[in-house]
Structure 1
Amino acid sequence: MALHMIKLCVGCDTVEELVEWQANREPAGPWIMRTRQTPKRAAELVETGSLFRVFKGVILCRQKILAVDTVGEGVNARCEVTLDPDCVRVAPTPRRAFQGWRYLEGKDAPPDLERGADGEIPPELARQLREVGAW
């Protein structure tokens, strides 16, 4: 069974903003998400996992986890999670706010949305439909 990580996306309201921010940052390089605590189940995350991102209370995308590393020592130790640059949109799924990150079991992970579908719904309309409970 796949094991994933879930984390709030702070500072971006949409997947497009996140992708644009990452594309315009200096220096260019791999996507690295930094956090305080290194997951004890890091090996499982690298084998099968993705980082699912929560935007304003809704899971909207995921990125495959490529590596999980601890950098620094002692009180200065931090975790760096290297991510695939491809953001895969997932079925919008409500999620309550939390601090830090959490594990997400594969059975609880939202499914990927089809790419390039002719009937792709604009993100703003999808948000409004979710708010009224129609999607």
Structure 2
Amino acid sequence: MAKDADFVPGSLHLRKLSVGSESVDSMIAWQDMMRARRGGHIWHVTRSWPKRAEELLQGGSLYWIIKGVMVARQPIIGFEEHPPENPEDKPYCRIMLGDEVIKTHPWPHRPFQGWRYLKAEDAPPDLDGAGGDDQMPPEMAAELKALGLL
């Protein structure tokens, strides 16, 4: 996949589990279905608003973790209020995402709840489409990386 022209390597990012996704392709298919229902937009709803939202809007991405492996990122393009299920609760946060999902080198990652900040220096690089990790299953590439073999 092509690199996003707006990506700034020195930015702050978020990391998030893509619960229920079997692969990057299945996540993209789900997002395409949701985008059609949401008037062409895609977002992720969370209870907590990032306190560092302004930093995230300076080229930040949401890095997706699928089946224990960080495998893709998606540009963060904004934040909006999302109405809670109970009208007496405070509004949730919509993390508005760009359309492009950019595959990254697979990095193993332990599970966690919610989202976490991710410093640029800790983020996996984008795949450049030249082969390598892109040709093997992400779980295998992540295991090889964890063993120091990749």
* TM superposition score category, shorter chain reference: 0.7 to 0.9
**Aligned twin of 1:48:** 59
**Structure 1 unaligned blocks of 5 or more:** none
Q: Deviations over 1:29-71 (max 9, x none)?
A: 1111111111011111111200000011110000000001233
CA RMSD of aligned residues (A): 2.1
The farther-off stretch of 62-71 and 93-102 is 62-71
Distance 2:55 2:88 in 1: 24
TM-score, with structure 2 as normaliser: 0.78
Question: Which AA in structure 2 matches 1:52?
Answer: Y
Residue aligned with 1:96, SS: coil
Distance 1:118 1:54, change over 3 A: closer
Q: How many residues align?
A: 133
Are 1:62 and 2:76 an aligned pair? Answer: no
What fraction of aligned residue pairs are identical, expressed as a percent?
Answer: 36
Where in structure 2 are there 5+ consecutive unaligned residues? Answer: 1-9
Q: CA deviation at 1:90?
A: 0.6
Q: Secondary structure at the match of 2:57?
A: helix
TM-score of the superposed pair, with normalisation by structure 1:
0.86
Q: 1:23 to 1:94 in 2, by over 3 A?
A: same
Please tell me whether the aligned partners of residues 10 and 55 of structure 1 are also in contact (alpha carbons under 8 angstroms): yes
Q: 1:101 to 1:74 in 2, by over 3 A?
A: farther
